[in-house]
Amino acid sequence: MKHISNILCIGALSVMAALAGCQREVYQGEAGSGDPAAVLFTSNVARASYEGSWSANDPVGIFMMAAGDTIADAGNRIGDNVLYRSAINGLLSPGSAEQTVYFPVDGSEVDFVAYYPYSADLNNLQLKIDLNDQSTDAKRVLLFSNNASGVSYTPGDDPVAMTFEHQYARIKVEVTPGIGFTAEDLADNLSIAITNVADTAVFFLADTSFRNVAAPAKTLAFSKGTPENEWNVSLIPGQEEGEGRQLRFSYPSLNLESFDLPDGKVYERGKVYTYKARISRNGLTVSEGDIMDWDVEEVPGTTRNAPTLTTGVSGGPGITDIAATSAKVNYNLANPHAVQLPNVKTSYGVKKAADDDFTLVPAALGFPLGAGVDQNLTITMSNLDPDTDYDAFGWVTVDGVGYTTDTLRFKTLSIP
């Protein structure tokens, strides 16, 4: 705690009044309507939070420039640090009615830059960083996106997809209870900290560098995560292991040794460094685990980016309301993983059992599928021939990789 073209009008005025003060004209909506065409945004990020996805109303800052212009020059920023807020499905909406991004009327292309968490207190594109308190996602997660470039308006286009990447490094400690402890004991009483690290800096949005990094002399507390045996801490990247750095474990009435972090590694942005600890009445053992990308963290024992789309609802029928020319096909879409799957698209269809002709419900817009999501879908297939055998099927793609469902055969009714 889950990821745009030439004009932005903001202010306390109405939309049409605000347009009068803008530097460039905007696209109109339906012909002759006089309505401006607003930009729609979606956001892709595998893990917008430690737990897995965006939360409702997470604040995102958005900048817009003419294509090819740099964000570093204030004169280039047509949209300058505009507040948008996320939904749990990754859609981004203006923070208020007055804050809306619009496309330019001349069809010219624009670039977008976005970051999370939003701050109204940006000084020369420098975001103040303080990692002493990591109790919420907004205090321990830093995301940045600059992939949405060369975007222009075409009616019916998908929303502009912004791909966010993690900017902090992260240490994760997975703790196993030993003799004399339960998982609940550790979740309620254990605390972990890391010593001799930097706690403050500024993040420069123009080049994603960390500047004015404090001396590595602070102790930062880990936050307890989900699942309950996991503790995490975010770090300013670029700091080497060693330098007298330790993981310190504290439990009431128990004297636990500290673990010296090994020398020779640098904490890199977007990486998760895992350690495995076992705590018992006899003491503490710690071992070094995997180093993985935060944005595409693997789930042990599963295939990454493999949701399931099955015909038939769990505990219920696959085909309902069969008529002469229509039927309802029930599907179950599930993400069994502990991470959000970005850019999921689903399609559904039926074909005559005797040939390859098919009726298709087109793929939906790409959307993030949250961790552990399990939902039932009902698709109405119409314009079918009466008294005919059909096979219903579906498929789902994630980042271009497709998975097809089993087929369900049914027969439409005869016309009385």
pLDDT tens, position by position, 70-94: 999 988 888 889 999 987 667 888 8
Taking the alpha carbons of 165, 167, 168, 170 in that order, is the dihedral positive or negative?
A: positive
Tell me, rounded to whole angstroms, the distance of Cα 55 from its chain centroid.
Answer: 9
Least reliable range by pLDDT among 9-13, 192-196, 258-262: 9-13
CATH classification of the domain holding 326 = 2.60.40.10
Residues 160, 173: one domain?
Answer: no
If pLDDT is split at 50, 70 and 90, which confidence band does 313 have?
A: low
Q: Are 316 and 332 in contact (CB under 8 A)?
A: no
Query: Distances from the Cα of 325 to the Cαs of 64, 321, 382, 404, in angstroms?
Result: 49, 11, 6, 25
**Mean per-residue pLDDT over the chain, rounded:** 78
pLDDT of residue 206: 95
Residues 255 and 312 in one domain: no
* Domain match, 157 and 218 both: no
For residue 54, the enclosing domain spans: 7-166
- Which of 34-38, 238-242, 375-379 is most confident? 375-379
Q: What percent of the chain has pLDDT over 90?
A: 29
Residues 236-255 have a mean pLDDT of 84
Q: Domain total for the chain?
A: 3
Asked whether residue 130 falls in the same domain as residue 78, the answer is yes
The answer to whether residue 396 scores a pLDDT higher than 80 is no
Q: What number is the average pLDDT over the span 26-49?
A: 56
Of the pLDDT bands very low, low, confident and very high (cuts 50, 70, 90), residue 30 is: very low
Residue 355's pLDDT is 74
Decide which of 293, 325, 355 is a domain's last residue.
293
> What 3-state DSSP class applies to 153?
coil
**Residue 358 β-bridge partners:** 351
Are residues 15 and 154 both part of a single domain? yes
Q: Determine phi and psi for 137, rounding to 5 degrees.
A: -60, -40
Range 64-68 average pLDDT: 91
Strand, coil or helix: what is 187? helix
Quick one: 61 and 106 in the same domain? yes
Under DSSP, the state recorded for 76 is G
Q: How many Cβ atoms from other residues are within 10 Å of residue 91's Cβ?
A: 18
Which of the residue ranges 139-143, 349-353, 366-370 has the most confident prediction, judged by mean pLDDT? 139-143
Rounded to whole angstroms, the Cα distance separating 348 from 318 reads: 13
Same-domain check for residues 16 and 162: yes
User: Strands 283-293, 341-352: parallel, antiparallel or unpaired by DSSP?
Assistant: unpaired
Q: Is 18 a member of any domain? A: yes
Give the confidence band of 297 by pLDDT, cuts at 50, 70, 90. very low
The domain boundary residue, chosen from 263, 293, 323 = 293
Looking only at the bridges linking them, the beta strands covering 160-163 and 41-44 are parallel
At 251, which CATH number? 2.60.40.2630
Residue 223 or 264, more confident: 223
- Report the distance separating Cα 372 and Cα 413, nearest Å: 38
Same domain, residue pair 398 and 262: no
More confident residue, 145 or 51: 145
Across the range 364-379, mean pLDDT stands at 74
- pLDDT over 70 percentage in the chain: 74
Provide the pLDDT for residue 80.
87
Higher pLDDT, 412 or 56: 412
Cβ contacts of residue 70 below 8 Å, gap of 6+?
A: 76, 206
Angle value at C-alpha 179, between 178 and 183, nearest 5 degrees: 50
- Asked, for residue 241, whether it belongs to a domain, the answer is yes
User: Please, which pLDDT band fits residue 69 given cuts at 50, 70 and 90?
Assistant: very high
Residue partners of 27: CB distance under 8 A and separation at least 6: 36, 37, 102, 103, 104, 105, 153
What's the pLDDT at 45?
Answer: 64
Are both 77 and 112 inside the same structural domain?
Answer: yes
Give the pLDDT mean for 280-284: 83
- CA-CA distance, 150 to 387, in Å (whole number)? 51
How far is Cα 399 from Cα 326, in angstroms, rounded to an integer?
Answer: 32
Return the pLDDT at 255: 85
Q: How confident is the model at residue 21, as a pLDDT?
A: 31
Q: In terms of pLDDT, which residue wins out, 134 or 296?
A: 134
Beta strands in 178-317, from DSSP E residues, in sequence order = 191-197, 200-204, 209-211, 218-221, 223-224, 230-235, 246-250, 259-260, 271-280, 283-293, 308-311
On the question of a cis peptide bond just before residue 227, with omega within 30 degrees of 0, the verdict is: yes
34 and 102 inside one domain: yes
pLDDT in tens, 101-122: 887 777 889 999 999 999 999 9
Cα-only R_g, the chain: 26
For residue 112, what pLDDT is reported? 94
CATH number at 66 reads 2.60.40.2620
Instruction: Find the range with the poorest average confidence among 248-252, 265-269, 312-316, 410-414.
Output: 312-316
Q: For residue 368, give the H/E element and its range.
A: strand 367-369
Same structural domain, 87 and 31: yes
The answer to whether 164 and 143 are in contact (CB under 8 A) is yes
Report whether pLDDT(66) > 70: yes
pLDDT in tens, 193-234: 999 999 999 999 999 999 999 998 999 999 987 667 899 999
The verdict on 192 and 84 lying in the same domain is: no
Q: Does some domain include residue 63? A: yes
Show which of 166, 183, 216 is a domain's final residue: 166
Q: What is the pLDDT of residues 181-193, one digit of tens each?
A: 888 889 889 999 9
pLDDT > 60? residue 167: yes
- Cβ proximity of 195 and 249 under 8 Å: no
Query: For the purposes of burial, counting CB atoms within 10 Å of the CB of 403, is it exposed (0-12), middle (13-18) or buried (19 or more)?
Result: middle
The pLDDT value given to residue 49: 63
